[in-house]
Structure 1
């Protein structure tokens, strides 16, 4: 049985991969992290800045209870999705950017810094087969 792999168009270390997946932990963000409207614009801007085609409008909602209250949001893109979860009490954000089209980690960081000015950022970049 022949396995087709044309859809694996991202090259990393000499191998074909399906997608690039950036995981970001951003701690100590500014007050924009508390605003549904600001985070809606964050998702739109992130998609535009990393050169993705947005599919519909973002969805951003606040829910949870007590110390687990925060926002969750998603912007579908033609090549996958950008999504986040936040914690209001600590102003922390957990962001995932996944796409089968390449993007620059430095651009994600630039948008993050401009919108949320976190005091600490940790990233992990995975290549998905």
Structure 2
């Protein structure tokens, strides 16, 4: 990589309610994710059901601190929407992460933003949408 790091931000709509509301299923996703993108956990996984000021936004959240940075997500229990984040100074394949999110949670769509970050040059961002089961829109 000729930049400091990659930041993947995914906003997903209408995922499988049973899956996003199952802590053990989300835990298995994180384990599989780290294996697929070859990241090493630096601390234990934090995973909890979180109440919020807005009941529509309550749901499971996780944060996994990594040797090379972090992965985190919040799953909204009522809407099925979820918000995923992975930042790393070690390169990883965005397509692999997208495919894994689709396979695990079956969202209606993904809004994807990839930010290439570096303190010595302006960050570059690419944004696109993937429709149901991976068809580009």
**Do both proteins adopt the same fold according to a TM-score greater than 0.5, normalized to the shorter chain?**
yes
Q: Given that residues 44 and 75 in structure 1 are in contact (C-alpha distance below 8 angstroms), is that contact kept between their aligned partners in structure 2?
A: no
Q: Which residue, 5, 27, 31 being the options, matches 1:44?
A: 31
Gaps of at least 5 residues in structure 1 are: 1-9, 12-16
Q: Which residue, 18, 24, 37 being the options, matches 2:10?
A: 24
Residue 85 of structure 1, CA deviation = 1.1
Q: Which residue, 19, 43, 56 being the options, matches 2:43?
A: 56
Report how many aligned residue pairs link the two structures: 115
Gaps of at least 5 residues in structure 2 are: 119-137
Residue 96 of structure 1, CA deviation = 0.4
The higher-RCO structure (CA 8 Å, 6+ apart) is 1
State the alpha-carbon separation in 1 of the partners of residues 104 and 96 from structure 2: 12
After the TM superposition, which residues 64-79 of structure 1 pair with which residues of structure 2 at under 5 Å, given as runs? Answer: 64-65=51-52, 66-79=55-68
TM-score (norm. length: structure 1):
0.84
State the alpha-carbon separation in 2 of the partners of residues 32 and 109 from structure 1: 16
4+ residue runs over 6 A deviation: none
